[in-house]
Chain A
Amino acid sequence: MFRFIVRRLLQMVLAFFGTTLIVYALMFAGQGDPIQALAGERPVTAAQRAYLTEKYHLDATGVGGFFYRYFDYISNLLRGDLGESLTGRSIGDILAAAWPVTIRLALIAIAVAVVFGVTAGVLAGIRRASIFDNATLLLTLLVLGIPTIVLAPLAQYFLGVRWQLFPPTAGADPDFFALLLPGIVLGSLSLATALRLTRTSVAENLRADYVRTARSKGLPNRRVVSVHVLRNSLIPVITFLGVEVGNLMSGAIITEGVFNIPGVGFNLFRGIRTEDGPLVVGIVSVLVVVYLVSNLVVDILYAVLDPRIRYE
């Protein structure tokens, strides 16, 4: 187990450098004017130009200059210094204010996915080909097929503006209730995936040989399903949910943007809209790290849950 974690950590470090290098190269390399690239089409003031030149060491040139700037960027990133956005705010401060909101939203979404998705998935898996099963399959297909850019504004309009069941937007310091509708919208996709995954997994495990063994021990059906089948079926589901937590921490760009929730995705959304290059680079870099770490955590979780992986 220890060796497994060490190996995965080393892989993650490699992936970290690889990914950040790609992000950095794509953002800066080969541009005519890197400063203009960061700022997009906005006019750049002389002060901004001087700040960016100094911050990204844009006066050094060539491949050597590129790697010099890259390692500079990495060391800043590792020190937690993400620099300033074009509006002059510290990106670190922006993120520090945004994380708690995003995490709360992600937790609501995951809770929705677990409570409804996994439960319904288990039921559908046990009663395969029943009406319930077919209905959930069709419903999840609908949810999976409707893009968030449709679901979020429509939910906001109908549930928030038209019928006024929920607050339509969250605002500066959102409470639990304000986050509920966006959380459900955000979680619906995870819910559908979790449901389908649970259903397939349960149905498959119900046919496994060890189920027959457990029944031949004279165990009640309830125990066979809730202990033997579930323990096996939930391995891929929990792994998926782990990956999903990582995704939701970073990926709520649309939902946070639509519902005006001042989280990480919202700031990225705004950074893209206002063409604030440093803000986008800063947030994307941090999100890449979050993504890598959450993948690592999930891999370890997987090994903890499945002894066959653990002792490889």
Chain B
Amino acid sequence: MSDFETVAASENQAARRGLSGEPGTPNQVGKPGKPRSLARDAWRDLRRKPIFWISLVLVLLVTAMAAVPGLFTSNDPADCVLSRQHAAPSGGAIFGYDFQGCDTYARAVYGARASLQVGALSALFTGLIALVVGMLAGFFGGWVDAVLSRVIDIVLGIPLLLAAIVLLKRVGSDSATVRIAAVIFVLAVLGWTTAARVVRSSVITAREQDYVAAARMLGAGNGRIMWRHILPNALAPAIVVLTIALGSFIAAEATLSFLGIGLREPTISWGIEINNGRVHMRESATPLVVPSTFLALTVLAFIMLGDAIRDAFDPKLR
């Protein structure tokens, strides 16, 4: 809450300094001034960043893993034989077997699907809520903005983990689909606020642009202006925020599953695997380390990707 205000204040400051512009360098304050050249600059900047490429490759890799896990392992993750408990690597099981005698590597590979499903769908719903709320608040302003901003403040003030615990405790069902839907619902309901604020502020910026005034004078209605002129401006920053959010949603899903209130067996989730591995870490650490690494790399990849894109689009922040 406070850092948001700081950012806004610093933007004002930057704008002021830019206007008094003694150094005489061309003003680069007006963000939405030239979208095409900005995108080109951003791309040129991104291309040179190793972090961008590394995270992009990781994201593609984990996406492929979620879509076609058979490409990465030929073992069945549900093929668990207790006699193989903590057995050494053999065959396709390059990391050996866990406490239940399941292939550690295969389970980690198959864990990608639930994580990405939850992450992507949460981000999608979050994005929809954020776009609707942010557009309404930013475009109409006045009391609509006042009410919606208050709602954002309140939801932002709810401690995420506690609220998720309260909400998920109500889901009694053990059906995989129901639990996945419940986790997605909880994350979307609690997680849309940051994106909504971003959308709101970019809508406010876009609303003040001359071409919007021109469109209005030409008789375009609110709906058309919002759809044709404002939405495209709000989309790019929202996507960046949602990329980062996708990473944190994956982490949140794993955390909830780790606690036993998110997904449950027989669904394979990194959170559950980590918890199981943790319990038996003294006997064998690989069942802990392997899913931990998968989870950490996936979360990092999305966060770093979003971070790199945001930096490229917003040179002021550097």
Contact = CB atoms under 8 A, between A and B. Distances in A.
Contacts of A19: 158
B245 interface: no
Contacts of B288: 153-154, 157
A258 B251 CA distance: 17
Interface string B237-270: 0000000000100010011001111000000000
A13 interface: no
Contact of B259 (A236, A243, A272): A272
Given A147-B251, A254-B258, A236 B6 contact: yes
By DSSP majority rule, is chain B's interface helix, strand, loop, or mixed? helix
Interface residues of A, number: 57
Contacts of A37: 169-170, 172
B307 A141 contact: yes
Nearest to A152: B278
Interface in B155-176: 157-159, 161-162, 165-167, 169-170, 172
Given A147-B254, A272-B260, A291-B159, A280 B169 contact: yes
Contacts of A253: 161, 259
Contacts of A250: 159, 162
Contacts of B247: 145
Contacts of A239: 2
B17 interface: yes
Interface string A195-210: 0010011001001110
Closest 10 CB pairs of A and B: A145-B300, A147-B251, A153-B278, A150-B292, A149-B258, A145-B303, A239-B2, A146-B296, A204-B10, A150-B296
Interface of B: 1-3, 6, 10, 13, 17, 51, 154, 157-159, 161-162, 165-167, 169-170, 172, 247, 251, 254-255, 258-261, 271, 274-275, 277-278, 281-282, 285, 288-289, 292, 295-296, 299-300, 303-304, 307, 317-318
28 contacts: A27-B166, A129-B318, A138-B51, A141-B300, A144-B303, A146-B300, A149-B275, A153-B274, A154-B289, A156-B278, A157-B281, A161-B285, A200-B317, A207-B13, A207-B17, A208-B13, A239-B2, A243-B1, A253-B161, A253-B259, A257-B259, A258-B278, A269-B259, A272-B165, A273-B259, A284-B166, A287-B159, A287-B162
